[in-house]
Structures are given as C-alpha cells and as structure tokens.
Structure 1
Amino acid sequence: MSHPRVRIRELTKDSVNFVLEAVDLAFANSLRRVMMADIATVAIDIVEIEQNSSVLADEFIAHRLGQIPLISTECDNLMRYTKDCSCSSHCKQCSVLLTLDVSCNTDDTVAVTSQHLEQSNDFPYDDSAMVDNDMLDRRDPNFGSPLVTRQASEEPILIAKIRKGQRIKARCIAKKGIAKEHAKWSPCSAVSFEYDPHNKLRHTTYWYESNVKSEWLPSANGREEEIPQDDQPFDFNAKPEKFYFEVETTGSLSPKEVVTKGMEELTKKLAFLTHQIDAGGDAEMNGGMAGSLANGHDASGWGALPSNGANGLASGASPPVVGGWGNASPPAWQVPNGAAAGGWSL
C-alpha cells in the first residue's frame, strides 16, 4: 500500500468534500469518528438564569444556549481545560463569559437570538492563576463569540420569543471540551464517507423488485471508478482503499481545521498506543482523557511518558500502523483546478 493521499474535490466555508486514498476501512472510519468526537471547541457549559419571564423554562433556554456554535479557532492551543487550569474557578485562560439581557417593552414580539449574546470580562478572576498573556493575545478577536457577530449575512440562531413585559437575563460561561463529553462540543454537524460505489466488493445487498440496476441508481462517486462488467470475476480478498468523505461543520471551526486536526489527533492516538505496546504495558495511561497538565499548562495529549513526563504523543515519528502514515509524512493536499484550487483558501 502506498502513502495516504488526500484530494479535495469541493471546498466551501462550512463543508469540504475530499477523497482519501491508500488507507484501509478501519483508518477511514477512525478519522470520521475523531473528527466528530475528539476535536476541542468552545461551548456554553454553565448558564446562570437571573431573570426569565418568558414562556420557556430555564432548563429549555439553558439547553438552547449550549447548542449555539462559538468561534473556536485554534482552541486546542489557545485555551486550557478548566480541570487543567490553575485558577480556583474560572478565568480568561479556561473560560469565556457571555451575557444575555433582552427585554420587550413594545407590543411587538421580540426574538431573542444568539446575536444578543455579548462577551464580558466582568467575572471573578483568580489572581493566583498563572497568566499566559501570549496565549490570550494570539486568540481570534471574536474567539468564543457566536458566529453571527462575525458573519452578519447569516441569520442568528433563535433562542426564544418574548412579548411585552417579559425579559430574559442570563450569565453564560463557555468552556473548552470535546464531543465525547457532550455533543455540543462537536465541530461537525455531519461526517460521512462512501466507498465502492459500484458494490464490486459485495458489501451491500440491495433489496429490489425486479432489476437492481434500474432501482438502485449509482451515486455521484461512481464517476470516479470504472464500472464493473456483469461477468467480471469477484475477488473475495479485495479490500477498499478509496474513500469519499463529506464533512459539514457547525461553523465553530473551518473545514480545513476540522480535517487537519482530526488527522493530528488520530496520529497522536496511534502514537500513544504504539508507545504503550513498546513499553510492555508498564506505563500508566492517565485515564484516557485528553488534556493532561504539563508544567502548569494544558498539553493537548493523551497521557504522559513515565520517564520524563513529556507529552507521550508529541515525540517521534508516526506509528507504522496499517493504513496510517508509517514513518512517512502525512498526506499532501492535492487540489484540482476548480473552485477549490489554490489550497484551502476560499
């Protein structure tokens, strides 16, 4: 099997369609799962309702606030997990404070949307926390804000509707997390892939009335592969090596960042697994949770090496796993001449 290759077929600001080649099915599915559940983003986690005279219960509003995508560019490097921060509660390094205060004083119905969420620095700051000003300065100016504050052309997300005399006032604390803890931290709204569009491997059995070809039309990905002949011999040992991915993001991260960070996280997981196997199982695994603490800062990894305490996933070459990178470099992005030509730039 040759080195993995990625070819971008279509790229927009919220989605990417690409072809991943020279990997096996397990690797392709692992990449899909990592993009969905292991990439860190920022989402509202704590909601303090100060006043709510709307028809919706406090819990209903809190749940809706948690589902609003927040700008999370480079979140894994520019924000700490709350559990790894040295502050006593919440601070600028591990949290983003958002406030919501909307009243209706007219006879018209007022729509309370994500546009009304505003960032605030007015929360108790633990002076004992080790402040990393460089980390804060490198953040996007809108880091932690709802998407509509930066992209006014898009409609804001509706939270509730209030009438005259009603008011919603809340204080929200957004934190860093991954979708394994809660789906609100997932940067993707949908991730799917297809392989073997002509069913040459017989992995799918079609239900049909009279003619399978007329009732099951081939997918658009079928244009990428040669159509098999009816009398073509069937290879029982053949395995898929070409996968057609469709990734749609929530907007918290760009499609480029979702895919590249997904590959980075998967490489780290495989490297850590290889290290544990080579160590003979004597090293402890740190509970399998991301975000170990290294020198007072969050190390976006999966445990520490027993010898020097360094991030066990950041050293050495990628593991020589089947369908992985081996000791070679990660796949290069091959962009066709078209709308997505020139790389990831839109």
Structure 2
Amino acid sequence: MNYSNFTQNANKPFVSITGQDQESISFILSNTDLSVANAIRRAMIAEVTTMAIDLVEFENNTSVLTDEFIAHRLGLIPLFSSDVDTMIPFTSRECSCQQYCPSCSVELHLNVKCDQESRSVTSNDLISVHQQIKPITSESDSGILIAKLVKGQEISLRCIAKKGIAKEHAKWSPCAAVAFEYDPHNRLRHTTYWVEDDVKSEWPVSKNGELEEEPAEDEPFDYLAKPNKFYYNVETTGALKPQEAIIAGLKVLQKKLAFIKKNVEGIAEEVGTGGVEERMF
C-alpha cells in the first residue's frame, strides 16, 4: 500500500512516506492529536503479535555456556512472523491441546557437534518445522551468533515458539526502535534546553526540521497552538516488515477503540432504559 498517494485533507489525518528500506520506514502523520500519534507508537512497540521462542528443552550441552544463558539468547532471535495470524494464541483457551501443538506453537531444533578446531553456532543452525515461521537471515547470511564450540563440544536442544506481545516480554516486539518527534523547532516550548552560550550550536535541529520552515526570531508565541505533524522512523527486528508492523499497530488500536465504543453504547442504552445510573467518563 502506497501511503504517499493519499490525498491531503485539512480535516482528516494523512500520511506521507519520506523514506523506506527492508528494515525501516520513515513517514509523517499529520492532522491528528498528540495522544493518537503516541498511541500508535506504543501499539507498534508493545501490542503487535509476533512469534518468539518461549520454551527450550536441552538434550545435551557441553559448551562453556549454561543452559539458561543459551535459552535467553534463543528467545531473543527474531522469527519471521508474517504468518503469525494463522497461529492460535497459546495463552488463550481457543486451543484444545494439553500443552502445545502445531496450531498454537512452532517447533525448532538445534543439533550441532564440533568436529573441527572450533565452530560458531548461529541462528542458521536452528531448523524450524514451519516453512514460514523461522529465524530471520542477516545481510551477511552468517546468522546470529548463539555460542562457540571447540572440538568435541556439542549442543542438542528443542525449542517451542509461541505467539505473544511485547507487553509480556520484549522478545515479542517487532520493533527494534520507533523514533517519534514533533515540533523540531520547539515552537510550542514543550522542551526546555540547558543552554550555556548558543542554543543553535548546542542543540542542533534534527533533520526533520528541514521539512518545516524555520521560525523567525520575532515570531510571536501562540499559547493555543497544538502539534499536528508527527515524524516517525520505525525500525523492525526483521520479524515483520516495517509496513506490516505499522498496519498491525493500527489494527490493534482500532480494536481497542471499537471495544470502548461498543461498551459506551451499551451503557448508554442501559441508561436510557433506567438500567444503570448515568455516569461521567
């Protein structure tokens, strides 16, 4: 979907993309409230579902690293999660299995023995039983380092990946970072700078300031002004594409608002029939 083709409307929010690649995307969101813009940021970071390793069963580990250390590293390896919606949430009662099954989890195996002087164990050695949900590949294709073995050492284990969100654990976050800025020239005075000599040299304006007209020295301060243009830079872990993370975050926020709307309407109906006392929100 090309958001840069959206028609600008003075009364409706609109988005324009300023840059993108395989791992990140930069865009400007305009004509909305600060609370809404920040809610989108928070949803992308903490409430978008992905797959991550949550259980590790060791069969053999003769490396210098403890089981717990390796398990922690495995949990932080991003897994391709574009097909995450096909999985049933493990924490829900929707799945009828007793422990875990292919409907609510993905099994991965790691079996490595060093037969040479030394060997690196990476995410490329993790074999997934699911064709789509598997460890991401790096640019160098060397994989993410898990451990190093010397001759005679080995690691043999089984992993169970489950569906989750970063509110439960950061390993499920699809975003490595979400940069969020508004008012780069500080017209609204929301930021107080510690200045020793010259504010312009000590606090240079970000590159987003180039997209706005620099304020005049004698520009009057508007006490009623509110921010209405927000600059985002979303960098993903690779579990989801940047566009997928944004759309998923918007869907999460939409569901939350729909839930509130439904309940408010239900209360209003009960109030109208005298079922409950009228209340303020």
Task: Provide the TM-score with structure 1 as the length reference.
Answer: 0.72
Show the counterpart of 2:136. Answer: 147
Checking the alignment, whether the CA contact within 8 Å between 1:71 and 1:142 is kept in structure 2 is no
Show the counterpart of 2:109. Answer: 99
From 64, 70, 78, the counterpart of 1:61: 70
Structure 1 position 45 matched with structure 2 position 54: yes
Checking the alignment, whether the CA contact within 8 Å between 2:83 and 2:133 is kept in structure 1 is no
Question: Per the alignment, in what secondary structure is the counterpart of residue 39 of structure 1?
Answer: coil
- Please list the CA deviations of residues 133-178 of structure 1 after superposition, one character each: whole Å capped at 9, or x if unmatched: xxxxxxxx73221112xx6743310000011111111100001111
- Please list the CA deviations of residues 273-327 of structure 1 after superposition, one character each: whole Å capped at 9, or x if unmatched: 12122222999xxxxxxxxxxxxxxxxxxxxxxxxxxxxxxxxxxxxxxxxxxxx
Alignment of 1:151-190 (within 5 A): 153-190=140-177
In structure 1, distance between residues paired with 2:237 and 2:186: 32
From 228, 233, 241, the counterpart of 1:254: 241
Question: Per the alignment, in what secondary structure is the counterpart of residue 246 of structure 1?
Answer: strand
Structure 1 position 113 matched with structure 2 position 122: yes
In structure 2, distance between residues paired with 1:31 and 1:15: 16
Checking the alignment, whether the CA contact within 8 Å between 2:83 and 2:132 is kept in structure 1 is no
The one-letter code sitting in structure 2 at the alignment partner of 1:89 is: Q
- Please list the CA deviations of residues 315-346 of structure 1 after superposition, one character each: whole Å capped at 9, or x if unmatched: xxxxxxxxxxxxxxxxxxxxxxxxxxxxxxxx
In structure 2, distance between residues paired with 1:282 and 1:71: 45
In structure 1, distance between residues paired with 2:139 and 2:224: 53
The one-letter code sitting in structure 2 at the alignment partner of 1:54 is: S
Checking the alignment, whether the CA contact within 8 Å between 1:198 and 1:227 is kept in structure 2 is yes
Q: How has the CA–CA distance of structure 1 residues 154 and 17 changed in structure 2, closer, same or farther, with 3 Å as cutoff?
A: farther
Question: Per the alignment, in what secondary structure is the counterpart of residue 210 of structure 1?
Answer: coil
CA RMSD of aligned residues (A): 1.7
In structure 2, distance between residues paired with 1:64 and 1:29: 31
Checking the alignment, whether the CA contact within 8 Å between 2:63 and 2:149 is kept in structure 1 is yes
Show the counterpart of 2:44. Answer: 35
From 189, 195, 198, the counterpart of 1:211: 198
Checking the alignment, whether the CA contact within 8 Å between 1:66 and 1:184 is kept in structure 2 is yes
In structure 1, distance between residues paired with 2:122 and 2:135: 10
In structure 2, distance between residues paired with 1:68 and 1:214: 41
Task: Provide the TM-score with structure 2 as the length reference.
Answer: 0.88
Q: How has the CA–CA distance of structure 1 residues 205 and 244 changed in structure 2, closer, same or farther, with 3 Å as cutoff?
A: same
In structure 2, distance between residues paired with 1:236 and 1:185: 41
Q: How has the CA–CA distance of structure 1 residues 239 and 168 changed in structure 2, closer, same or farther, with 3 Å as cutoff?
A: same
Show the counterpart of 2:186. Answer: 199
Structure 1 position 80 matched with structure 2 position 69: no
Question: Per the alignment, in what secondary structure is the counterpart of residue 181 of structure 1?
Answer: coil
Question: Per the alignment, in what secondary structure is the counterpart of residue 267 of structure 2?
Answer: coil
What stretches of structure 2 of length at least 5 have no aligned partner? Answer: 1-9, 271-281
Checking the alignment, whether the CA contact within 8 Å between 1:144 and 1:174 is kept in structure 2 is no
Question: Per the alignment, in what secondary structure is the counterpart of residue 280 of structure 1?
Answer: helix
**Identical amino acids, percent of aligned pairs:** 53
Show the counterpart of 2:7. Answer: none
The one-letter code sitting in structure 1 at the alignment partner of 2:89 is: Y
> How many aligned residue pairs are there?
259
What stretches of structure 1 of length at least 5 have no aligned partner? Answer: 121-140, 284-346
Show the counterpart of 1:289. Answer: none
